[in-house]
Amino acid sequence: MFLPYAAFAGGLAVSRATSNRSITVRALILAAVSFALLAYVEPIARYHHRVERGVDVSRQFPLGPATPGTLLSLKEAIQASPPNTYRYSVDEPMEAPPNWVEHLLHGLLVLPLFSLLSALLGRQIGSLTTGLPPPARQNARWALGVLSGLAFFIALVVGDSWVRNDPSRSGALGAWGALLIPMLELGLLLWLSRYWDSRRDGFPVSAPK
């Protein structure tokens, strides 16, 4: 999904005078749109595309498009009648471990919420780098933006692997754990912003001659 990264660019573009409330409201709207696309539009469109191609959807989608309600029903069905061996195959969803289905379900919320955090990260990075000269400012913003997105992506991959390696592990924890990275980064940036503001406020101002 490109929307979280677009949210970062939007947060970067707003001025420091823009209130946190205004940015949060806009980012929440973007997160809602991201959730609707990820949780409903994309799986329904993929389902109908397979139908049009003549794919046997009764096997790949035994309960219908992979929307949140369907994933929840799939998890309950697997728990009620578990297979002899768990498999990670798109062709055999009824043989997936319940924690993996849970992981997919919670992932539909994690990515949209990253849009909100991404917008706030963009705003804070834009604020902290305002005083840099143009070349250094652009390079710093580009580098921090890439690192923020890359760190979150790596956290997602690590969470996926952690859940896959043991069917007894919490799929929800594996999904939500990725948000710790942008949350910690945002906390650090907010602290740095307040620190530098306090330093500037503490400097004596010379009287004009």
Task: Name the nearest CA neighbour of 20 among 114, 147, 141, 122.
Answer: 122
What would the pLDDT profile of 108-160 be if each residue is shown by its tens digit? 999 999 988 998 898 889 888 888 888 898 899 989 988 998 999 999 999 99
pLDDT value, residue 17: 58
Q: What percent of the chain has pLDDT over 90?
A: 55
Average pLDDT on 92-113 reads: 95
> Is the whole model's pTM more than 0.75, yes or no?
yes
Of the pLDDT bands very low, low, confident and very high (cuts 50, 70, 90), residue 202 is low
187 against 196, higher pLDDT: 187
Q: Are the CB atoms for 12 and 125 separated by under 8 Å?
A: yes
Task: Give the helix/strand (H/E) hosting 27.
Answer: helix 20-36
